[in-house]
Amino acid sequence: MLRPDGAATEIMLVLGVIGTTQLAVQRGVGNTAPAQIANATLCIQVGNANEEASSRPLPVSIATVLQNNYTQIFRNTWAVSGTAAETRMIVGEGNVGESKMDCAALHSADIEKGIIWDKNSLE
């Protein structure tokens, strides 16, 4: 196997974990040749291999930790009927523009009330 820079790579089989910085490995697995490994060499786990009828691997889990998120989503909808949208108004920006402006005003009022009166919740 070759890395993008043209250097050869070695495949190792991890036999066990000795400590936080040490592994027991079988070198030169497959058709790769063992090579000298310098300190701080990046090793990448690419998968696992288990022999047929072997016991399943130990489960991996991630402990969840509650993180507070102070984000609030405000949703407001504007709409007019097709007839009202096509009807020409004598003054103003039309039914659609007026509905959008009303919705923007209600949206900003909802945000302002949320800042002042809302409570944290997990809903």
Do residues 43 and 14 both lie within one domain? Answer: yes
Terminal alpha carbon distance of the chain:
51
Average pLDDT, the chain: 80
Which whole number is the average pLDDT over 107-117? 88
Least confident residue range of 5-9, 73-77, 93-97 = 5-9
- Asked whether residue 62 is assigned to any structural domain, the reply reads no
CB atoms within 10 A of CB 106: 14
Which whole number is the average pLDDT over 30-59? 79
Question: 60-83, pLDDT tens digit by residue?
Answer: 888 888 777 777 888 888 888 888
Quote the CA–CA distance of 90 and 81 in Å, as a whole number. Answer: 18
Quote the CA–CA distance of 16 and 25 in Å, as a whole number. Answer: 7
Do residues 79 and 110 both lie within one domain? Answer: yes
- Asked whether residue 18 is assigned to any structural domain, the reply reads yes
- Asked whether residue 73 is assigned to any structural domain, the reply reads yes
56, pLDDT greater than 60: yes
105, pLDDT greater than 90: yes
Instruction: Give, for 84, the enclosing helix (H) or strand (E).
Output: helix 82-86
Do residues 121 and 73 both lie within one domain? Answer: yes
pTM: 0.38
